[in-house]
Chain A
Amino acid sequence: GDSVTQMEGPVTLSEEAFLTINCTYTATGYPSLFWYVQYPGEGLQLLLKATKADDKGSNKGFEATYRKETTSFHLEKGSVQVSDSAVYFCALRSNYQLIWGAGTKLIIKP
């Protein structure tokens, strides 16, 4: 079945560092791909999405490109801030539901 694999956390970075969180997927066809973020004590919220190959989703300085050839959707940000500390989930749409990665906890130190 369809699945999503994310890099394990926690990922700890210093403020202004470059961020990459890897996400790869297994799916039939070309599913829509999503990154959700969960800040401490809150629900998940959509960070960005891409609906077809080579699409780039971007929001709040974060970017991810839908790479069909490598079945990947890695999340990147050029300069992270302390306020980016959260858990990040990669997901794909499969029929009527979202298939989720395990989540990657990101810790940004000042």
Chain B
Amino acid sequence: DSGVTQTPKHLITATGQRVTLRCSPRSGDLSVYWYQQSLDQGLQFLIQYYNGEERAKGNILERFSAQQFPDLHSELNLSSLELGDSALYFCASSVGGGGSRAFSEAFFGQGTRLTVV
């Protein structure tokens, strides 16, 4: 058990809909990262938050947004869903935020499998 909790584990929804994925980081970790893993695109970094602020942005679509709350949990919102958004979405957390702060490793949750039909 990595200590990172993601809910829900599975989600099936229709095209055009909006969903929210939730992540609780490990106790004490200030950074949260979101990743998308699909068969054709591999593991794609979406976005990182550090202590409530956006720190880095990757290949995140405009239809997607995220935030990190004062209690450090994070939510990834996916809207106007398309079939191609079907993937495994991972959240990871780490103590530091990279850069000058300590970064030893990122701990991953078990993922949310999103199926868009």
A interface residues (Cβ-Cβ under 8 A, vs B): 32, 34, 36, 41-46, 49, 89, 93, 95-100, 102-103
Contacts and interface: CB of A to CB of B under 8 A. Distances in A.
Interface residues of B, number: 25
A93 B48 CA distance: 13
B56 A96 contact: yes
Contacts of A32: 103
Given A89-B43, A97-B58, A43 B103 contact: no
Interface of B: 2, 4, 33, 42-43, 45, 48, 50, 55-56, 58, 90, 92, 97-99, 103-111
**Top 6 nearest A-B pairs by Cβ distance?**
A96-B98, A43-B108, A96-B56, A44-B108, A46-B105, A102-B42
A46 B104 CA distance: 10
A45 B105 CA distance: 9
Contacts of B2: 43, 45
B44 to A, nearest CB: 8
B43 A96 contact: no
A95 B43 contact: no
Nearest to A97: B56
Given A43-B2, A44-B90, A103-B43, A96 B108 contact: no
